């Protein structure tokens, strides 16, 4: 009977420690959605960006992707960004879709400019850079490698010895 009591106590300790680690990970993972003012940005390709994805400036989370939809006129993806109220973006901010490594998720990377005026609530980021998949980048690399090094020309045939 003493052995069952010890096993029960050890099992309870393991469960308490596991619960502690789960709470610690959840509070420090910054998984909650940022609510703030909403702005938009247009991209020709969102490349697998999800609702709830991070918006970062220099690696620091400043917002989340609230929604995205297709513009019926330009056929661009209009991404709605929810930015933290204490972050006021300059009007010349550039938005791009980046990836967290080869297999990581996508996020919106903001590169703030130096303009004095700010993007208002409901405003739009005018400058965007489109997402390039790994396949597109490899294709461009192959194209550049073959374009810079054309095939060597065949050597000119030697004149026959009788004509010398």
* pLDDT value, residue 9: 92
Q: Is the pLDDT of residue 60 over 60?
A: yes
pLDDT digits over 100-150, tens only?
Answer: 877 778 999 999 999 999 999 999 999 998 777 777 778 888 888 887 555
* pLDDT value, residue 105: 85
- Please, are residues 75 and 90 in contact by the beta-carbon 8 Å criterion? no
Q: CA of 124: how far to CAs of 108, 120, 121, 152, 163, in Å?
A: 14, 8, 9, 51, 76
Bridge partners of residue 57, in order along the sequence = 60
Query: For residue 17, which phi and psi values (nearest 5 degrees)?
Result: -65, -40
* pLDDT value, residue 100: 85
* pLDDT value, residue 91: 95
As a whole number of angstroms, the distance between CA 61 and CA 77 comes to 22
* pLDDT value, residue 65: 93
What pTM does this model have? Answer: 0.67
- Please, are residues 44 and 130 in contact by the beta-carbon 8 Å criterion? yes
**For residue 129, which of 112, 108, 143 has the smallest C-alpha distance?**
108
pLDDT digits over 3-47, tens only?
Answer: 788 889 999 999 999 999 888 877 776 666 667 899 999 999 888
- Vertex 112 angle, CA 32 and 71, to 5°: 70
């Amino acid at each position: 009977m003493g052995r069952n009591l010890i096993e029960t106590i050890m099992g309870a300790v393991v469960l308490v420690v596991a619960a502690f680690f789960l709470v610690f990970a959840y509070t420090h993972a910054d998984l909650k959605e940022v609510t703030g003012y909403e702005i938009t940005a247009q991209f020709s390709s969102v490349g697998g960006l999800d609702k709830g994805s991070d918006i970062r400036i220099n690696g620091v989370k400043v917002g989340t992707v609230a929604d995205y939809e297709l513009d019926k006129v330009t056929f661009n993806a209009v991404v709605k960004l929810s930015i933290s109220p204490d972050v006021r973006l300059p009007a010349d901010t550039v938005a791009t879709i980046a990836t967290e490594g080869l297999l990581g998720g996508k996020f919106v990377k903001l590169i703030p400019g130096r303009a004095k005026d700010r993007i208002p609530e409901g405003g739009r980021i005018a400058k965007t850079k489109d997402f390039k998949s790994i396949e597109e980048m490899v294709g461009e690399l192959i194209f550049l490698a073959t374009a810079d090094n054309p095939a060597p020309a065949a050597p000119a045939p030697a004149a026959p010895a009788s004509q010398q």
